[in-house]
Structure 1
């Protein structure tokens, strides 16, 4: 692979870096103040809409979608350094560019698997940033690391489907602009294990949909995701045409959705680690302890050097994975997708932790972005499949080569 960015990537990267410097970083304290003043932790502060309007005016919109009919038409390799930059401010930048989960995955899902009517009704307003969406897969009563465990029932009744079950960590559902839920459940429990599940579109205001509560992440609302909800579905009835694909396609659609989602998370994690390393270096140069700057303390220098090595290793693996996804497809890049999902979150977690340590009490407070960055990095060791599941699957694939 060629390690140089092409001309379009360089131009977009420069434009995005300027947007971050001029608009996003200064907006971070404003965002925090507006959230606090609103009194509603799930409310979307006005600064978010302002940033989205500015990003759109600068041509920084829907960069994640490789299909030029819907987005910027960038390859994974072109998008990687851009997503990395958004990771430097993960609670503001991705949403400002309309590139925040779960909407990204949901838009990809609708673009690839949705019917023309479904794309017209839901994809168009999502692409325009007019509404938000939620993805309802995980359940509190089963081990959702095994998606075939899902117990929510989707039952055919004439020209409708009836949905019963409970979901949690339904990303996006607490956003007041969330209008559509993509729900995964079982349509045929007697079918082959990976053909039991289906996906269906449920408008959030459908009778029988009850949002029980919002789930915090280490005490944070996890703003760019629009909050994670626990939701009851009690005899929820929707038209049969709301089914995505056909009955039994749910597991395959979920896997197709999660592949790009995993690499996007890892791209942003590189940026999160870079932001933490920058803060660590600034702190080390400015802070004096025991008569000399932290930058002259051997242990701090080791942290800085090790951070740079770990970031570069992870970045190269993410770029290789992006290149493979572009050249041989997601299936051909399966091993690498699992590898980056295993390696990148703990890398970022380690770098952020060292920055927290250098800042002391300030590092765990609201006065730096470090605490929120650490919470997000730690959470991503669970999201889109826990480390252990990816390691087990990757080990099987590796052993297969020698059996």
Structure 2
């Protein structure tokens, strides 16, 4: 909002600094040593553990919990990081309630799973606090690999390749590495600049040259990378934001939710970020929830999420929806925007109720309006400027197996590639697996 005209209703500093500090503190306090021991003691250490199968990176969860129980959190962290080098971030942002913890035997028996995510954070935070990097770089292979995108998939790919002895150059369009971990996740989930701390720790493997401000198709071209490097991995994410296709989208204070989240993450002080009194967020995913909750925490009086389908179709997990409700966010489902009202500035949104039938979703003639001085769009993203010659699957790069694209010597993973959920943990798995395939290909 810093680049748009402001009205009295859209201002920074709605709440006192001490209140903002509390609001944007750690969402889940880290476990202490005793708490971790108690939490670890609840694990059954299943032989055929369903939690491992439910984890996209296949972490040996019973093993790392047993290592915590044996007072070896550093060893537990290495078990985690061998499979998921961004295990610290995933412990904070992974929807464990729909993955490993949902599959936990304790969840089925008692309705209360082992706190796998918090135990993972305890282990990885303990190791990172020592400053030690538990992996060593293999002897140089003499091979060079370009990784485009310093998000979760690119970082995971780069680390695994560097560990194998390859020289890696990571290019990223933004000023800071981290991708959505740095720019697209709610501030209360990753406090104390954790995304950058994790990247710095990851880079200790050596053999990785990071170059920021390098956008594919502008400063760097795929054809040149193919000539200069032995292999290329694309982890460029989804930079394009879908349009509402509703009248009045051009009004001031109508903006993309991902930009709002990024502004808040980069502000250094939430009191510097303007917010309205009446905020409407359109969408039903994690981004919508993050934007809505943070608007409320900034001091917005009324915040409403409106999603076009049924509640069970929302991609935001049930726990995320409960978080939003607990912060005073209203959630309306089965409605789609028709028109954004206002002159220079947005003043409200008219919605139509929707119905789902054999022919898909349709708007009914029944409408309602919500007052709004800020509207945040969280209706999904798309691939922006895919290099020519790459086969696409829908609006993503088509891949086969461990990230192989239609171009020889080019791999892709993360949100920009087809297949898999758009989750940090999935992106890490795809980057890691592509790195293994690249290594096997380069070494014959």
TM-score by length of 2: 0.26
Pick 1 or 2: higher relative contact order, CA cutoff 8 A, min separation 6.
2
Between structures 1 and 2, the one with greater helix share:
1
